Structure 1
Amino acid sequence: MRLNEANESLSMNRRSTLLKKVWIISVIAVLIISSLSACAAKKSEDKTAAEKEDISREAEEDAAHITVGVKGSEITIVKEGEPYIESGAYGIDDRTGAIKTYETSGKVNSQKPGEYTVEYKFKSGKGEKSIKRTVKVVKANEYKANTGGIPVLMYHFVYTDNDVPANLNSNYIKDTDLDAHLNYLKSEDYYFPSYKELRAYVDGKISLPEKSVILSFDDGQAGFLAYGIPLLEKHKIPATSFFIGVRDGEGVMRSNASRYLSYQSHSYDMHRAGGNIGHGGRISAMQMTEIRDDLKAAADLVANNEAFAYPFGDVTDDAREAVRQCEIDCAFTTEYGKVHPGMDFTILPRIRVQGTNSLEAFIGSL
């Protein structure tokens, strides 16, 4: 009996020892697994942080290639009770060209005087960049409306004392003279409508401020790009470059992106000889469908169809029909004059700026 009890006691001791060993092994295993899990989690966290850092770096690098600007004045003036015209914005990636879509946020109540904010967000690659427009709704009895028409100024080329063209003519303006023009417009607090605002003005839907003007530069000439754009940026005055698509249009746009210069169509490939009316531009020898296809190609390049300047100012009925079918907001000739309500949006006039004229003559043309 005692022998059996001794054997049972020994067996119990062995089981107890075994259980302790199993418990110790289990604890060690749990500790090892926990340690391995912690290491794996740390590695995962480190990897995630590195990936996030890479994404952030790529986003910053992509954003650095984006230039954005609003169309028209950055401070939009609206008369109380009249509709707010959304002028939009533009974005250019210096690697890929015009950014064709963007997000718009913000609301404007034109029935209630006050200030509102509209924001535009552009994305390209992993980068994004935003710009804001301030909208001021002015009380109707305090709003000073334009009654004399809107001058759309037509400049061409810019030169400097150190870069004088061989065939200098009145289409060229010296950089110091352009600087004087811009300084006058800025000091006199001129308003710079967008083409959508101008179209609404032509259609009788809205008023525009008393001192309103639009600046346009034809042909995308190298001197304008080199010397004109810095002056626009200096004075913070928005302008348009009516450029020609087939003449490395995308390259010009990518290399000369600016917050104060939007690009519009001077045709894709119609700015050359081949016609038999006006200045002999080929547009007069083209069918309506050919003109329409050219306008669509140009609109695709600049990512909008807001404005078009007829090459050489030559206009035909087919060209005007193509403008209508492409739903272009404003089409400009070279006929001298201001834009007034009730005019035909397919044949709007402009004020040609002569580089040989005095500052006083320029002021008088406004």
Structure 2
Amino acid sequence: MKSISTVVEKMKPSGIRKFFDLASTMDDVISLGVGEPDFSTPWHICQAAMASMADGKTHYTANRGLLELRQEIATFHKEHYQQSYDPQTEIVVTVGGSEAIDISMRALLNPGDEVIVMDPNYVAYEPAVALAGGVCVPIVLTKENEFKLKPEDLKAAISPKTKAMIINYPSNPTGGVMTHEDYAKLVPILKESGIFVVSDEIYAELSFDQEFASLSQFDEVRDQIIVINGFSKAFAMTGWRLGYILANAPLSKAITKIHQYVIMSASVASQYAAIEALKNGYPDVVMMREEYNHRRNLLVNRLNAMGLHTNMPHGTFYVFADIRKTGLNSETFCSQLLEKEHVACVPGNAFGPHGEGFIRISYAYSLNHIKEACVRIEQFLKDIDYQKE
């Protein structure tokens, strides 16, 4: 019998799910591992989906998604992010951001093309590149530089084989962000090289300390940028599985070809829910963001007081806590913390080799859970005789 795909055989299981699955077998666990809002989807959004079903809107939509939804996406991005996209030819509605990443890679890559990825980075990027026949070229991000992408590092990573780059700001797992000024330094390099950028902006609305910025806001490279976004994080709609891609018309047409064969169209009820979210759900986003901000401040202050020196994340709902001075590697730290104190976090090496020495802690959980988790983490540090400075 022939073996399954060698690419799939070599692929590691998600380090995020590993600790979530372990935690689910234990009692009294505070799980701060999975990046999922603890808020339920706002009820008016759920009602819109139910009303669509009651009205018999249960059939396939256009491959690109409902035109009304695409129009609302275009309006939202113009008003909030100063991004201009044609709902007819430049927007594709997908089954979550995960499908969007996958089909973007498949639309771009030929076998052997190089794709620049960040290290640390979100766990789905490198598998998506590999499944599309590409080769990952990492750029190391550092805590000292707040996990930003530096122009000199980008320039050094580009080769004649480079086809694209994947970025994610605000960043999962680090919480780092790029400002308009940071991106401006990258634009000449991108323009000269002509490489494409897949910009995962799923956490755009979870920017706390400065206005969100995107490479797509620079006209000179706009057509090189593929923007990925969706409804999971900002609108607390993870289970609805709805995302979208913004790209120039020729790229969007190529992406739609793949989407129509593997998906056909996204869930129609989810699309009607998303229309309601964009029309009337922004006050919910603001409320949730304010709550995440309170949680962020509490968690970072507590971790730093314990001696786990942690950058203040300027976006997302994660902190990337530095555990290097404990003497434990990230896998051991998370395993022992789960076993001894029943707190589940994600080891930093799940996000790339240079995530080693860190752990990702999600604060998409209630303040009470976060406070109790901090008590348990502090007790764990005492048990391993960690001497904070």
TM-score between both structures, scaled by the size of structure 2: 0.29
**Of the two, which has the highest radius of gyration?**
1
Higher relative contact order (CA 8 A, sep 6+): 2
Higher percent of residues as helix: 2
